[in-house]
Amino acid sequence: MKIIETIQAIRKEVKQAKKEDKSIGFVPTMGYLHEGHLSLISEARKKHDLVIISIFVNPLQFGPNEDFERYPRDFERDERLARKAGADVIFYPSVTEMYPKETPMTIRVTKGVDVLCGASRPGHFDGVATVVMKLFQLVQPDEAFFGQKDAQQVAIIMNMVETFDIPVTIVACPTIREEDGLAKSSRNVYLTEDEREEAPFLYETLQYGVKLIRSGEYNRQTVIHKMLAKLEGGSGTVDYLDIFLYPSLEKVEELSGQIILAIAYQYKHARLIDNLIMKVDQ
């Protein structure tokens, strides 16, 4: 497995792969890999000749009061895990390599950002879209693999690819969970013992919402109200709990078609997100 730290070197690697007619599977990450990331690498390994992952904690997507400096980093651990999962290349650039000067422009996302995580994190998805666009230009993958846990991010990247006619297929892979249902996340390490014991109730609440809809409750506000009642008494606070069409992220009061039930919950030192996507056929 190669570790590449410069833009010049990753371009050379990609150019050689294209010359040899190799297909490229790409997994962009911010590191501190867990089983969710590794499942994406394994999926890319099944389908492609060359598997490239990136590890880059992107400052553009962190707000002024967010955890850029505290975001967990352990490259030696990530290297071992990525190698074992089947990655061929880790692209591991520094911030100055990716942004050698003040960025004169970014992508501005205009749809699907004023809801869910975007509502409380202005500019976040502009930063995500900008770095993913840059990574796509450098790696030129045939397919890029993302976890469905970050469903809003997946939707926005899908829309970006369609809008700019980027020749890459986005593959959304299922959320990887702990045995008790908690979605795996790099931020789970910040949970206290009591918070970790309680946290699976987020997934249980989403499942309850799905059950309500499948039983014939199609009114969006009614489903949300009943789901919120399930969260009462938790030790954290609800950031949001909402239901939208997916991937358009449009709001409808009478639920039908493909929808997403999504939740964000703030504990003392960790903000957890989770979602379920389902098809509603009345």
Annotated binding residues for beta-alanine: 61
Assess contact for 61 and 124: CB atoms under 8 A: yes
Q: Is 37 a catalytic residue?
A: yes
Domains of the chain: 2-173 (3.40.50.620), 186-280 (3.30.1300.10)
* pLDDT tens for each residue of 101-144: 988 888 999 988 888 988 878 888 999 999 999 999 999 999 99
Q: What is the DSSP string of 89-137?
A: EEE---HHHH-SS--S------SS-SSHHHHHSTTHHHHHHHHHHHHHH
User: What is the rounded CA–CA span in Å between residue 160 and residue 126?
Assistant: 11
Q: Mean pLDDT across the stretch 151-160?
A: 94
- Residue 273: predicted pLDDT: 95
Give tens-digit pLDDT for 201-219: 999 999 999 999 999 999 9
**Binding region for ATP:** 30-37, 147-150, 176, 184-187
pLDDT digits (tens, 9 = 90+) for 255-278: 999 999 999 999 999 999 999 999
Binding residues: 30-37, 61, 147-150, 153, 176, 184-187
Length of the chain: 282
For residue 259, the cross-strand partners are 245, 278
Q: 266: which residues sit within 8 A by CB, 6+ positions away?
A: 236, 237, 238, 239, 272
**What kind and span of H or E run contains 278?**
strand 271-280
**Can you state the angle between helices 124-139 and 151-163, rounded to 10 degrees?**
60
Catalytic residue among 37, 48, 124, 225: 37
Using CA atoms, how far apart are residues 111 and 249, in angstroms rounded to an integer?
8
Distances (CA, A) of 12 to 1, 4, 82: 16, 10, 21
Helix (H) or strand (E) holding 80: helix 75-85
Residue 67 has pLDDT above 80, yes or no: no
Q: In this structure, what token pair is assigned to residue 111?
A: 């749809």
The residues pairing with 52 across neighbouring beta strands, listed in sequence order, are 26, 89
What are 98's two structure tokens?
């990716």
End-to-end CA distance of the chain: 50
Q: Collapsing DSSP states into helix, strand and coil, what is residue 200?
A: coil
Output Rg (C-alpha) for the chain, integer angstroms. Answer: 19
pLDDT tens by residue, 41-54:
999 999 999 999 99
Q: How confident is the model at residue 181 (pLDDT cuts 50, 70, 90)?
A: very high
Which residues are annotated binding-site positions for (R)-pantoate? 61, 153
pLDDT at 242: 97
